[in-house]
Amino acid sequence: MKIYSLPILATILCITLSCNIDDSDFSQENLHGTWELSRYQQESQLFYVDTYEFYEDGTFENRSTARQQDNNMDLGYNSITKGTYRLIGNVLTLTGDQFLTLPEGSTEWYTALDNLIGSDWKIEREYTIALKERKSQLVLEYKCAPNELCSGPFPMTYFRK
């Protein structure tokens, strides 16, 4: 009986260790692609979707959109941020140098892409990241400084598309 349980125990141990090793590999290649976070807005009966796209050339795009529940179609934009990213270990630094947002005084929380307006805005943010579930989930942790306007809650989990 002991002879059979030893190989089974060794197999389970190897699988467990390989999953843990897999999720702590923070190379840029693991970031490349599209990551989404959706939150349902009861009052509008729409999803607020926050999407990050990380490109091989070290640039990123972050889009906030409104999405219909039934057909998964984006109706419009809340904002778009473009810039560059840098990954050192598990610290992801995003430097946004282009920002499009809703016009001042807008009564809706989304609009057509053509209606977004540019803003003089440059920001650099550092996130601690974790990759979960065989690199299908990206967890962003941001430390919001006192009196800083932060969107959250943190940590936020994005799913690979």
Task: Domain of residue 41: give its range.
Answer: 2-160
CA distances from 88 to 26, 95, 108, 116 (A): 8, 14, 38, 33
Cβ pair 55, 94 in contact under 8 A: no
Return the half-sphere exposure (C-beta side, CA atoms, 13 A cut-off) of residue 71. Answer: 3
Residue 151 has what pLDDT?
63
* pLDDT tens, residue by residue, 37-62: 999 999 889 999 999 999 999 999 99
- State the pTM of this model: 0.80
Residue 11 has what pLDDT?
47
Residue 16 clears pLDDT 60, i.e. is over it: no
Count of domains forming the chain: 1
Q: Report the CATH number at residue 38.
A: 2.40.128
